[in-house]
Chain A
Amino acid sequence: MDPTQDRTDPHPQAPPASEDPAALRGYYRQMALIRRFELRAAEMYTRAKIGGYCHLNLGEEATVVGLMAALRPTDYLFTTYRDHGYALARGADPGRVMAELFGRSTGLSGGRGGSMHLFDAGLRLLGGYGIVGGQMPPATGAALAIAHRGEPGPNSEAVMCLLGDGTTNIGAFHESLNLAAVWHLPIVYVIVNNHLGMGTPVEAASGEPALYRRGCAYRIPGARVDGNDVIAVRDAAQTALEQARTEHRPRLLEAVSHRLRGHSVVDSARYRSAQEAERLREQDPLPAFRARLIEDRILVKRRRTASTRNASRRSPPPSTSPTPARPRTSPPCSTTSTPPRSPTPTSACPETARPVPGSSPTAPGRSSRGRCHLPPGAARHTPGGDAAGREHPADR
């Protein structure tokens, strides 16, 4: 591709008729799951069950699900701290994600990471990252490891590295893009542009507010896609990933999205006008996608069934899970003090992964399933939901 030719996809609104109805319903379920999960997380945060910072994907569901649908199970994912939805759409058990927010040892990161640091080696979700831009050099290094071990081609693994619009101004962004360009790395950097870095508009923060063009300085082709269109996001990400695989060259993708609420749960977003808030509600991707699927008779209104009621109860509530055990500390001079370690640390790489027992002192509740070969989607299940996250009668 000529790197000087940037591509901006119009809102494609591809007719769902060309799509597999089951896949479309799956996307909708995932979007609804994220909506319900995030609303519940906000509620639990205000009830002080969840501590620290808590950033929600509300309004970004189409972007999240479209991107995750484009990834293969063998690809690696690095995300920002706004990571709950990505873990869910990648296939993590919602109960274990919520357990992590509750600080339980059954959580995705053993209760050590919290909301911003979700990690699942088996799903190749290599972290949510709390430092803006901090995920970019390690994601670039993961792509370096892929390039170090294998050749470009349709079967090559690839890395997807998510970042926000504000991240395009930090040094790590530019150093990472430059390294990926000169080292020929199979990585797709995805800017989720929700127009606000906390409260700062993109136009006030970026000398080039068309963010997909910010790779031009490194001859990295960029594309922009409507982040409210799950199919368009999936297709744009798939295209970028295939190019990254077959050429071992980086790509930049910008998904123009919206967050419906503040930067985090505690942010009331008073920097937004009432009109803007109303406009955002009108653009909400979840009811729009649902209406589209009903119109095309892919979703049919139906009474709520027992299975949808039970779906939300598959995992035990996190409040019944144990908190992480406290490590023993050594008194000075008694022994050579070494930081506490898990007895069986593992690499996230299948070639070098060491066996992991079903339980360890730092993660007593971890699943004993295989770490690196579980396909994403294995844990995908959710009832339908409306824009407010309540269960609604439309399901199948």
Chain B
Amino acid sequence: MLRDENILLIGEEIGVFEGSYKITTGLLDEFGPRRVRDTPICEEGFVGAAVGAAMLGLRPVVEIMTINFSLLAIDQIVNHAAKMHAMFGGQVSVPMVIRTPGGGGQQLAATHSQNLEVFYAHVPGLKVVAPASPADAKGLLTAAIRDDDPVLVLENLALYNTKGEVPDGEHTVPIGTAQITKPGRDLTVVAYSRAAAIALDVAHRLETEGISVEVVDLRSLRPLDRQTVCISVRKTTRAVILEDDWLSYGIGAEIAATIAEGAFDRLDAPVRRVAAAEVPLPYAKQLETAALPDAAALTRVIHETLDATGFTAHPTTPAGG
């Protein structure tokens, strides 16, 4: 915002209230109400207003309180922001960012706990990024703001308290690039957002058991870095996908298809998916926990995949692969 005066923030309770999750703390004091603009409760209205402001060259960063409420604005996101550049013959761009947190695990029940990113990742004309670490959050948000297309930055309620190193000064992560957050030899886990953090923990734990797991953090859901996924799976010959969204028609289905198209001839085992149970997420803690994918489920499916191919662990192997 210091660098570019065209950037303004729009959202519900982002000013005086400092954000429902306090993401915009202090920004109203620093930049004033003209650039940190509280809005009435009207997702379609204010997301669409950001579309129009972006058409005239501003770079609005919109906060939708949670991704569940983005459905109230989906006409403006899918039918308008995503279409304008192509549909109007390249005469206009829509350089806007939508920041919004998704995810369950907070006992917010069915309407407030969804992972709807696949709705948006399905749509040409949108870009969707999903950082899992503080450094990527900075790098991807910066890249999103500077991008000339509408970008949805998926945050995750369970990751808001994550601590980690963040590079000082300029730091951008190119949109559309996955990252291998842990190299490995025996099996690839593909994940994004909260699931990428879980996958990394599981991979480090399995290393001590002599299982070398490579973790691919997708970071971008559209455009999707299919090349990094396929190169990894061609090397390890086994793949498991961990995703917070529902199994059917989810991000994992797209990854599995990508692997089938780009690495089928090197696969030693069927590609497996670990995803959320296909129910509206319940409120009760035990039921909610049972419905969400977790480290135990991922670990079990990794073992099943390795066992199916007669894999033998080598506990003495140095970490890293």
Contact = CB atoms under 8 A, between A and B. Distances in A.
Interface of A: 76, 78, 107-113, 117, 119-121, 126-127, 129, 131, 134, 136-146, 148, 171-172, 175-176, 178-179, 182-183, 332-342, 344-349, 351-353, 360, 362-363, 366, 371
A111 B79 CA distance: 18
Nearest to B46: A179
A333 B178 CA distance: 12
Nearest to A109: B89
A140 B45 CA distance: 8
A111 B225 contact: no
Interface stretch (B51-59, B112-120, B266-274): B51-59
Given A144-B49, A332-B262, A352-B6, A113 B87 contact: yes
B125 interface: yes
A336 B49 contact: no
Contacts of A172: 44-45, 48, 75
B310 interface: no
Given A137-B45, A176-B45, A339-B223, A111 B89 contact: yes
Contacts of B90: 110, 341-342, 344-345, 360, 362-363
A19 B188 CA distance: 77
A110 B90 CA distance: 8
A53 to B, nearest CB: 14
Contacts of B227: 333-336
Contacts of B37: 183
Given A137-B76, A148-B58, A333-B261, A179 B39 contact: yes
B91 A120 contact: yes
B51 to A, nearest CB: 5
Given A117-B88, A336-B177, A362-B89, A349 B56 contact: yes
A115 to B, nearest CB: 12
A314 to B, nearest CB: 22
Contacts of B34: 148
A113 B88 contact: yes
B204 interface: no
A131 B75 contact: yes
Contacts of A363: 89-91
Contact of A179 (B49, B86, B88, B177): B49
B76 A112 contact: no
Given A109-B88, A345-B148, A337 B226 contact: yes
A138 B42 contact: no
Interface of B: 6, 8, 34, 37, 39-40, 42, 44-58, 60, 75-76, 79-80, 84-93, 124-125, 148-149, 176-177, 223-227, 229-230, 258, 261-263
A332 B256 CA distance: 12
Contacts of B149: 339, 341
A341 B50 CA distance: 21
Contacts of A108: 89
Nearest to B225: A336
If over half of A's interface residues share one DSSP class (helix, strand or loop), that class is named, otherwise mixed; here it is loop
Given A333-B227, A345-B148, A347-B55, A137 B47 contact: yes
A162 B54 CA distance: 20
A117 B87 CA distance: 7
B261 A138 contact: no
Contacts of B261: 332-333
Given A183-B37, A332-B261, 12 more contacts: A76-B56, A127-B88, A131-B75, A131-B79, A179-B39, A334-B227, A342-B90, A345-B91, A345-B92, A347-B56, A347-B92, A371-B91
What are the 6 closest A-B residue pairs judged by CB atoms, nearest first? Answer: A137-B48, A141-B52, A110-B89, A342-B90, A175-B45, A333-B262
A348 B56 contact: yes
Contacts of A348: 55-57, 91-92
A179 B85 contact: no
Contacts of A144: 49, 52-53
A347 B51 CA distance: 12
Nearest to B95: A347
Nearest to B39: A179
A145 B79 CA distance: 21
Q: Which of B40, B56, B93 has the most CB of A within 10 A?
A: B56
A108 B87 CA distance: 11
13 contacts: A119-B92, A126-B55, A137-B52, A141-B52, A144-B49, A172-B75, A175-B42, A176-B45, A179-B49, A183-B37, A345-B148, A348-B56, A353-B57
Contacts of B40: 175, 178-179, 182
A345 B85 contact: yes
A351 B53 contact: no
A109 B45 CA distance: 26
A137 to B, nearest CB: 2
B223 A345 contact: no
B32 to A, nearest CB: 12
A218 to B, nearest CB: 11
B80 A138 contact: yes
Contacts of A345: 85, 90-93, 148
A176 B48 CA distance: 9
Contacts of A176: 45, 48-49
